[in-house]
Structure 1
């Protein structure tokens, strides 16, 4: 996703996402969707006892309270991308196909799908007996309306494929035809933004519908304060029999890391959405808490506004890239729960080129020489925008500040609350910022398009970065079938981006969630969301 996570996921936009978006590996921290490995026998025993894949009948009922750093302020799936909204939207609306915890595409509302040999025709057959949360039947006409509305709205996760027609062949069969092949299409259909809603909003206005939406997801909105908490209730018509196991899901707004930690330890909440890497050991080794982890589709990055007088100069960007010891930063801040990033793409996404790409590695002498080539050889003063409340980000900013000082760049850290942070970078009101890019679906295009398309929704992730060759390769990658040819396209594109550094990839963090030990089947998806229909809590 482009969803980027500003608590951090593209991410995050949702993906954003995340505020801006993980999956073939679990990184350094252990197995996916299992508590992270403990360091002594007693903790290992606890881990086995609390493995998410429990045997026996799951406990039914109860309320799960989930601490989150930002409130849900919109449930309009076609106009949202940040993780605070995306990971609420996906509890209400579901797409035809989805991705599992390994990032593999699976049929979801569709019981089957097929793609023609020429890549132009996609046919989906809906599950039998599928109903919306108000008890009405889901038909192919609802899917037509939903996808057509997405095409009309566009939005931050617009359907990029050139769609010719979307038609219902009968009540259960949907056929989408494209004007030209678009390789990422099936992957992008798994985005939360392609969820299915009732035809014509069920007969109410858009405004009324999105205040209390009707979908096929495991939960329905019960109470909602757009500036505070959101309470979901179990959808009695959910298509997965017997699920969700919990009766209610509460998204509780907790903006500060330390407050979330304290409430989890005290049993006031059942889980933490954004567990800072530095707090992982404390929660993992707690008497009544544990950590659930997954690899991720997230890349933590330093972003430059290329409209800024200083960062429009490629030599300035390259100088700062050479001045930052990314490997040292990763080791210092992530406690073994991340991998140093060379490429824009996380290693869990195909075609990442992280091991082969030539990057601007830490070299202070080279950094000073690069700055000398710029229009500001004697250095300058600039500002780094950071969202407050995230201790890891605060430390990142200090390390980058120190690196800049070594080559004569005076970086002032501007730490502001999350909502204002988002407003600022949405308005391109920053010189540099710390954020993360996150894929919304398991295809390289998911991040690459969001961060390299100057004509896209985010104008290259609010950097305004423009390179004609990169744009050409971006479009070529979208049309090239999976295989060696597509790998070469993305390798060339990523190399250019690594040399021109409109953003500096820092590290790929594992997704970490803190939960009470009584929580079972807490399935973390590679985009940072959670399959709460699986969750059950020991009573």
Structure 2
């Protein structure tokens, strides 16, 4: 029996499911089935010191993990905050972090044992009570955007100074994976209690390798080395300057000009240009980020499945990948790349380009002459161009987009205040467990479900994905859930993206994982490069 088969057998037959077992299972789910043969080589002899200069688009909505909402927030979040559980950037295998180990003592009880001697940046101790405080806050705070991640949790208790016990409403073996993300990033309770209305959006205090220094809106986020970091000898950098540059070409040029060392969240056009420059490294690695038009399917016209399906048949995804991604992405009718363990090949390309079928569905829905759909878009040039191409394809079957380039507050209104628009083009993804993606996008309390409605069949299928720790059973459950979402056309998926970055030769041990969530613990600068 192979090691992976033995791990699965232990999960099925053992009375307790511990961290070691789950790590082995995670290798099946996140490693062997996801990134076969891919490893990251570590550069030798790191040299401490220096400030890493980063160019990145998008001013964060918040630097409080539970109130932020965008994938690029993680550029800074994992510098300031440690999560309860980490993951390997190459394999996505779960690894200890603030929780040194974890065990399912029964299918509805998860016990975390915590690292000793950790302190928050404000000097207060990291304890089991601090973890309970944070998880309760994620579930109950009115401003929390991550309630859907913990929808299966019934209660959290500190069962010792270094132990946390989580009771579940129903089995959910995806929870350790979920604790690698926003809900697992632990904020100092003292900082929250001292802040007006508990708002620490702009004053983050974590346990991470870097301490927050300042945030100049749309200009700069600065962090400095945490001299008391609990992982001795880390980090190597003295600090990081995150320069916020919303125009992607400008951000890329700062690396070319030597003004920054690393540019994040780049697009295909910048990668193509940078690859012609021998002094730069431009990477486009496989990614869990995808582009989709999120729909408010709770109100007309998108509450009609025929309209939603018509839109999906109207899209030529192969053309979008060639033009928008320069071939670096993948056309998809779902949300995941074709080599991801939870994707079902049978429905991954369900919607082929079929304008005639789209027109027929529109006529059946009562729109023989087409219709207009009020649509939002991010205001940057790349996003506008992306939506123009999609809109042109939809117009060929009579679907006209009434587009409003929106500042972040309008995006907030679309997702959180029902009635503001019908559709928005948005990059999505960046969650380690696929159940998080489905919950966030389509669950009734999901952050990106504008209408806040949910089909009972969706809930039944989603709950089934966490009912077993067995890889094969989870894969089958996700295949059924994927088919439901695709056939119901709950959104308009276009292409999966790539994790794209540009850097100079000085930046060492830098890894951009599939989730676009970089960690800077071991990054260092080679001044001789």
Q: How far apart in 2 are the matches of 1:31 and 1:232?
A: 35
Determine the structure 2 residue equivalent to 1:229.
Answer: 220
Q: Does 1:489 align with 2:477?
A: yes
TM-fit CA distance, 1:509: 0.9
Identify which of 478, 494, 498 aligns with 1:510.
Answer: 498
Q: Does 1:92 align with 2:92?
A: no
Identify which of 161, 181, 194 aligns with 2:152.
Answer: 161
**For the Cα contact (< 8 Å) 1:26–1:293, is it kept in 2?**
no
Task: Kindly indicate whether structure 1 or structure 2 has the higher relative contact order, using CA contacts under 8 Å at least 6 residues apart.
Answer: 1
Alpha carbons of structure 1 residues 27 and 291: separation in structure 2 relative to 1, 3 Å:
farther
List gaps (5 residues or longer) in structure 1. 1-21, 35-51
SS in 2 for 1:479: coil
Aligned residues: 493
If the length of structure 1 is used for normalisation, what is the TM-score?
0.83
Determine the structure 1 residue equivalent to 2:387.
Answer: 397
Alpha carbons of structure 1 residues 275 and 23: separation in structure 2 relative to 1, 3 Å:
farther
TM-fit CA distance, 1:298: 1.6
Superposed, 1:106-505 pairs within 5 Å as 106-116=95-105, 118-153=106-141, 155-158=144-147, 159-169=150-160, 171-201=161-191, 204-205=194-195, 207=198, 211-347=202-338, 349-357=340-348, 359-391=350-382, 393-418=383-408, 420-428=410-418, 429-441=420-432, 443-453=433-443, 455-458=444-447, 461-462=449-450, 464=452, 466-505=454-493
TM-fit CA distance, 1:528: 0.5
SS in 2 for 1:166: strand
List gaps (5 residues or longer) in structure 2. 1-28
CA deviation string 1:343-382 (max 9, x = no partner): 2334464322145556121112222222221111111233
Q: How far apart in 2 are the matches of 1:424 and 1:383?
A: 11
Alpha carbons of structure 1 residues 419 and 274: separation in structure 2 relative to 1, 3 Å:
farther
Identify which of 63, 79, 94 aligns with 1:105.
Answer: 94
Alpha carbons of structure 1 residues 469 and 420: separation in structure 2 relative to 1, 3 Å:
closer
Determine the structure 1 residue equivalent to 2:512.
Answer: 524
Q: How far apart in 2 are the matches of 1:202 and 1:310?
A: 42
TM-fit CA distance, 1:236: 0.6
Q: Does 1:54 align with 2:43?
A: yes
TM-fit CA distance, 1:81: 2.5
**For the Cα contact (< 8 Å) 1:59–1:537, is it kept in 2?**
yes
Alpha carbons of structure 1 residues 142 and 311: separation in structure 2 relative to 1, 3 Å:
closer
CA RMSD for the aligned pairs? 2.9
Q: Structure 1 stretches (4+) deviating beyond 6 angstroms?
A: 25-28, 30-34
CA deviation string 1:68-87 (max 9, x = no partner): 22223422222222234444
Alpha carbons of structure 1 residues 76 and 299: separation in structure 2 relative to 1, 3 Å:
same
- My pick for the range that moved more, 462-471 or 517-526, is 462-471
TM-fit CA distance, 1:125: 2.5
Q: How far apart in 2 are the matches of 1:286 and 1:446?
A: 39
If the length of structure 2 is used for normalisation, what is the TM-score?
0.85
SS in 1 for 2:287: coil
**For the Cα contact (< 8 Å) 1:323–1:407, is it kept in 2?**
yes
**For the Cα contact (< 8 Å) 2:430–2:516, is it kept in 1?**
no
Q: How far apart in 2 are the matches of 1:451 and 1:509?
A: 18
